Each structure stands twice: as structure tokens, then as C-alpha cells.
A and B are shown apart, each in its own frame.
Chain A
Amino acid sequence: MAYFAQQAVNAISLGFLYALIALGYTMVYGVLTMINFAHGDLFMLGAFICLLLVTFSPIALPFPILLVLVMLIIGGLGGLIERLAYRPLRDAPRVSAVITALGCGLVISNTTLSISPYSRAMPEVFNDQYFNVFGVGISTLQMLIIGVSLALMIGLDALIQKSRFGMALRAVAFDARSAPLMGISVNRIISLTFLIGTGLGGAAGMLYGMAFPVISASMGVLVGWKAFIAAVIGGIGNIRGAVLGGFILGTVEIFSVATLPSTYRDLISYSLLLVILIFKPYGILGRAPNIKV
């Protein structure tokens, strides 16, 4: 029982991380109906930026400042990619944008790989401690991951449901062609969406790097793309679906690793994706798009 509870705690914190990354995929998809394959690699870069900041900063940066810096840098980079690579393709066939995203992702990951061919150890950002709650071990880090992710998600939800930006965002997602008629600057909304979405991915990268402190250039494909599975399982384009998908995937992974050899983890995750897509092509919470003729 204690063992089960322990695994549940691990599954929850992993689920939160996946959900945090999945939000970026889903936000971009919701607004542009485009799969941003580069998102996983920006997530990876989040961990590396954190490493750089910790290593080269003259003073020891406290965690909150570090987090904000990483989010700003990665978010800015995501916005930049949108501006340079995706925006020129806004009116091109959808396939072009997806290919471009895949290309951008590979450029990022292979540049990182070329500069840092080996895995690197993430230095400790703060002193981690274990607590024992009714026989279940939970670390400060896990609590931090859960806390920060929860705060970011609640913030995002409030932003989308309550703010003017959120309203404009939903308008663009609903119908990008008539949104400008309502005085909404579509380009601004899309830029902001990328900024926020990839910023969250960057934060997840940093947290992931702290939780599993060996980081490498392949993290974008190995972990980032997993979160993409989470987004699709939940129903890509649907924000709550991303969170749900993250938890499902986190749970499945933790319990499959606990019962099977760990090399089966990817096999199981991707097979789960395939099975879900067969039975629910639009994910658990997603709905079939409406094609007007």
C-alpha cells in the first residue's frame, strides 16, 4: 500500500510535468491548428538555459528568479521562431508549417548536440529534502514541481477564461478569419500564445532538469514528444485535455516502469497513443472539427 502510494506521488509529479509541456502544444494547436514539433526541443533548451544561468551567474540566483528568466528566454525564443519561420507560412498549406516546425526542432536539438555532445549534470538549485508523510516519501522538489505547475496552470486558466487576452485568444481559435473584424490583432495574439506556451515548456524543462538531473540534447525527443502524446490523448487544442493527458501518461509510465523492464516504457506510451487514436481519433476531450463546404 505504501509502495502504491509512493508510486502515485511519483506519477502525479511526472504527470504535472507532462501536462505543463503539453499545454504548449495544445495552445498553439488550438489557435493555429498546427503541430509545433519544435516545442519539445524548446523544453529541452529550458533545462540547458537553467544550467547556463546557474553555472555562469556571478551570484547564486534564487529559484523564483531563475524560473522567470528561463521562462522569458524560452518564451522569447518561441515567439521569435513563430515570427521568422511560421508566420510566412500562415497562408501556405498546413503541411508546410508542420514540416517547418519539425525542421526548427531538429535545428535546435542538433545545435545543442553539436555544442554539448554529452549529457550534463544539472547542479543543485536548492537544497532538496525528503519528508516522510505517513510512510510515503515526498521531496521538496516534488512539492515544488507540483506547486509551481499548479500555480502556472491556474494562472493560465484564469488568463484564458477571464482576461481580455483570453477572450481574444478564444476568438482567434474559434475563427481566425473573422477575429480581425472584431478589432483583434491576430498576429499579436498568436505571438503571445507562442510566448506563453513555450514559456511554460521552458519552465517544465527547468523543473524536469532539476528532478532528473542528467540533461542531454535528446531530451526534446525523448521527453518533449511524450508530452505531445499527452496533448493528443487528452484532445489536442483542448487545454484541460492536456492536463488530463499529462496525468494519464504519467500514471501509465510510472506503473509500467514499476512492473516491466524500463526499456518498454516508450513502447507502451506510443502504443497507448496509437490505441487511443484508433478509438478516439480526436482524443478524450477533443471534438471533431467542423468542416464547412
Chain B
Amino acid sequence: MENIRRFCVRLADRRWILPVLLVLGMTFCVVAESTSLLNSYTRFVLTAMLVNVILCVSLNLVNGYLGEFSVGHAGFMALGAYASAMLTTCLFPQTPALFIPAILVGGLMAAVVGFFLALLSFKTRGDYLAIITLAFLMIVKSALENISWVGGPRGLAGIPTLTTLPIAFATAIITLWVIRNLIYSKFGRAVVAIREDEIAANAMGVRTREAKILAFTVSSFFGGVAGALLAHQITFINPGSFDIVKSTEILVMVYLGGIGSLAGSILGAVIFTFLSEALREYGTWRMVILPLILVLLMIFRPRGIMGLRELPWFLPRRELFNRRKKS
């Protein structure tokens, strides 16, 4: 046991492993997509896992690094999913080349709405973000149900299957890269300082409102991107797919993996995907067990598996010497 631990620690310090893993992963995805190496179910689960990584990392920015509580991530997914699906299904069908722009449009749509929502909600005290995002989630859902040209309550069907394993992999990597670069900059440090002590951060020159809005907008953008990917994976979406249950799933991932750790978010998304697949045969009981896990996590390990620790692979080189040592 001790040997395994030491081996892991040594592995974690070998930073060249990360680029190697990336190349291997990408190759694997391309091969798996073009050959029959994996059956379609396995491919589907792996793609879902990558989408979950995007969701978890992006929500972690708000709920983990910033320390606020948003329950609206499913709403941003819905915006991204519907915006991109309208493009690829209704406006420009039969042009798969437009998928990448469509993903971006989905992300931007979510980001714009996220920006205005943040503008409103961070005027007020902390727990009002929970209330505002809850209202936002309900408004998105019932607005979609009332707009007939996006299918109303029946939703949009016949979305082309464009989310391939390589695309999902590449998007997940880009998401991680962007968020990591954001966190290890003055912008990210401001966000984390707010979580630690908002008043002190403010008094130390951190423009708290701007930092919160930035974090929330970036988080919404990637929520929208993940929604776009999901729509083109499952090919059918309706307002009911983006409800509080979906938001809760993402919350479980975030708090399972670790607030304030990218490695934790990946871990959380991976564990959650497999757990969720394993529980699928239990039907609605699945949504009893998952929230129960969330509750137990909050009571016994509120900072998740990784907590605030980060894998050295993700740290910029100049931050390495500043890795948290035990106090």
C-alpha cells in the first residue's frame, strides 16, 4: 500500500507524462472512432464522460474556486444545446463543417446570458446566487416549453450525431487548458481570494465584482459548450432534460472530486459517469442514491476527494515550488 502511494507520488511529479497522455488519448479517440475497437455503448459512455469533465470543471470555477453556489448550470447547458442544435438541425442542416462554429455559438449564447445574470446577482449577498440561478433555471425551462419553434415541451428531435470521441476529447482538453490558465493568473487568484475572505480581498485591491462576473461568465460559456456537445451526442433534447436533476448531477461531480482542484474535477466526472451508468438499471432510485451521496459528502468530506490539492501536472512551472506543503 505504501509502495503504491509512493509510486503515485513519483508519477505525479513527472510532468512529461501529461503531454504523452494527451497524445495517446487523442490517438486512442481517433482510432476508436474510425475502427470497431470499441462497441458503440462504450464509445457513448466515454463521450459522456468527457462532456461531464467539461461540465464539472466549468461549474467548479463558480462553486469551487469562487465558493459561490450556483444551481443553474443545467440552464446554461440548455441554452448551448438549443442554440447549437437550431443551427445544425434547422438553419443549416447537412453541413457538419458548421459544428465547431455551432458549439461556439452555443457557448457564447450561454456566456452572454451568464454575464447579465452575474451582473444582477452579485450585487446582493452570497446565497442570493442560489436563488437567482434557481429562478434562471426555471425560467429557461418554462420559456423553452412555450416557444413553439424550438419544439415546445416536445423538444427538438433529429439533431445530427456530430459529437465524436475526438471532438469531445479535444473540447475537454481546451476547456481544462483555458480554465487552468485563468486560475493561475491574477484573475484566478482574485477569484480564490474572494472564496477565502471577500472583505479582505476587496481591501487588498481585488475588484470583487468584476472577478465574480468573469468567473461566472467563463463558467457559463463552457456550460453552453457542454450542452452543445450533449445535444449532438444524444440527438434529442427537450426542456425536461435540463432541470434541477441535471444540475444536481453536476454538483455531485464537483463536490465528489474536490472544490478547487482540476484533477479533482476530472476524477469526480470520471467516477460519477461510471457510478451513474452502474446505477442506471435502478431507474428513479438512481436519483435517490446520487443526492444521498451528495449529502454524505457534505457531512463527512465537504471538500471532496482531492480537496484543494492539485496534481503537479496542471501547475505552471513557476508555481511548482509554491506547491502547498503540509503545515
Contact = CB atoms under 8 A, between A and B. Distances in A.
A232 B134 CA distance: 12
Interface string A85-99: 100110011111111
B127 A103 contact: no
Chain A contact residues, majority secondary structure: helix
Given A89-B298, A114-B284, A274-B132, A94 B126 contact: yes
B216 interface: no
B69 A98 contact: yes
A114 B283 contact: yes
B291 A102 contact: yes
Contacts of B121: 277
Contacts of A105: 291
Interface string A104-144: 11110011011001000000000000000000000000000
Q: Give the interface size bracket for B toward A.
A: 35 or more
Contact of B131 (A113, A232, A289): A232
Nearest to A94: B127
B127 A100 contact: no
Interface string A152-186: 00000000000000000000000000000000000
A278 interface: yes
B143 A102 contact: no
A266 B120 contact: no
B67 A95 contact: yes
Contact of A270 (B128, B139, B153, B302): B139
Chain B contact residues, majority secondary structure: helix
B142 A110 contact: no
Q: Give the interface size bracket for A toward B.
A: 35 or more
Interface string B226-256: 0000000000000000001100100100010
Contact of B291 (A33, A103, A117, A277): A103
Interface string B95-122: 0000000000000000000000000110
Contact of B135 (A33, A95, A273): A273
Contacts of B134: 225
B298 A96 contact: yes
28 contacts: A85-B295, A85-B299, A92-B302, A93-B302, A94-B126, A94-B127, A95-B67, A95-B127, A96-B302, A97-B298, A99-B251, A99-B255, A99-B294, A102-B71, A102-B248, A103-B294, A106-B244, A106-B290, A106-B291, A107-B288, A110-B284, A110-B288, A114-B288, A263-B142, A263-B146, A270-B138, A271-B135, A281-B123
Closest 5 CB pairs of A and B: A281-B124, A106-B291, A103-B291, A103-B295, A103-B294
